[in-house]
Amino acid sequence: MSPMSIQPAPSVPPPPVPSAARPPRRRPSQLLRAAKGPLWIDLHVHSTASDGTDPPDQLVRRAHALGLDVIALTDHDSFAGLAAAGAAAEAVGLELMPGLELSAHHGPAHGPDSRPVHLLGYGCRPDHPELTAELKLIRRSRRERTPKLLEQLAGLGFELDLAEVEAQAGSAAAVGRPHLADAMVARGQVVDRDQAFALYLGDDGPVRADRHTPTAARAVDLIRAAGGCAVLAHPWARGAEAWISPAWLAQLTQHGLFGLEVDHVDHSADQRRRLRQLADRLGLAVTSSSDYHGRGRKGHPLGAERTDPAVYAVLRQRLVDQKGRL
């Protein structure tokens, strides 16, 4: 059965408002019943626990101030921001969907034909041993890659040391290319992250080095084993339509892929239309997200895309059935 065939619970009167001074955290079922209008749900945001610029608690408060009802914190390869985000969500009464963005690859593991892909994992149990071990490998590989990238930048005339990059990373679980870009900005070598990636650090740029990631199929398997639901993030963004084919997506669906992140700022209207058709054909859910990074990425404002509440209800029920984390 297609995940989209499941319907949310019928509308019933909302529960009474507690008298406590601090608003309680409302569960998704309560949100769906109590809503007097369309819910504002953003299922892909980043904090300083990876490459965002907002600390997790401030990110939650920002979302609440804007009027969002639900956000999913999906930092790269880490659950590190969830505790602080969860406490802030409890304090303001916003629903937090726990998640992560798991790095993976399409094609061979290394070399010019290896392409990065990202799986959003919702509701994973963070203590699952296989997933935990894989995340440690990915983060260690990121750290080990950084000196190689710095050496290549030096060859292009950009002098940076590791301490500068680590200072930009701050509390992030692992140093990544965005932190190198931030160090270049701080030195006045580039204007912003976008320029750093466009000219030097992008996947097809002159500064690159291999790192460990699982295959996309393995990433889906790990997310599901940890009780979570896997959604392919921005599948056709930044030229990825050239290698993410319908046939490849059909194979990934056989591993238990839950959905596609169709409504994303980097997708054109035509790509969204065709991805919706493809999701319908494969029985996949359609999600909508901002991919917010704070100041780290232009043109991706928090809440820029809204996931359908009915899809969110299906996602939540699937996590309940799989004994995932909510």
Chain segment 189-243, per-residue pLDDT in tens: 999 999 999 999 988 899 999 999 999 999 999 999 999 999 999 999 989 999 9
CA quadruple 100, 127, 167, 47: dihedral positive or negative? Answer: positive
pLDDT band at 17 (very low <50, low <70, confident <90, very high): very low
pLDDT band at 24 (very low <50, low <70, confident <90, very high): very low
pLDDT band at 3 (very low <50, low <70, confident <90, very high): very low
Query: 62 phi and psi, to 5 degrees?
Result: -65, -45
Return the SS3 of 232. strand
Q: Model confidence over 122-174: pLDDT tens digits?
A: 999 999 999 999 999 999 999 999 999 999 999 999 999 999 999 999 989 88
59-68, 96-105, 291-300: least confident range: 291-300
Over residues 257-281, the mean pLDDT reads 97
- Helix (H) / strand (E) containing 59: helix 56-66
Beta bridge partners, 70, equal 41, 95
Contacts of 98 (CB under 8 A, 6+ apart): 72, 73, 79, 82, 86, 122, 123, 124, 126, 325, 326
pLDDT of residue 37: 53
What's the token pair of residue 116?
A: 């990065």
- CB 56, CB 88: distance < 8 Å: yes
Report percent pLDDT > 90 for the chain.
81
Domains of the chain, CATH where assigned: 144-201 (1.10.150.650)
pLDDT at 245 over 50: yes
pLDDT at 35 over 50: no
pLDDT at 6 over 80: no
What's the token pair of residue 241?
A: 């339509």
pLDDT at 10 over 70: no
pLDDT of residue 27: 47
Return the SS3 of 82. helix
Residue with tokens 């499941």: 6
Over residues 294-305, the mean pLDDT reads 89
Q: Model confidence over 47-96: pLDDT tens digits?
A: 999 999 999 999 999 999 999 999 999 999 999 999 999 999 999 999 99
The larger pLDDT score, comparing residue 162 to residue 3, is at 162
Q: Alpha-carbon distance 3 to 322, whole Å?
A: 14
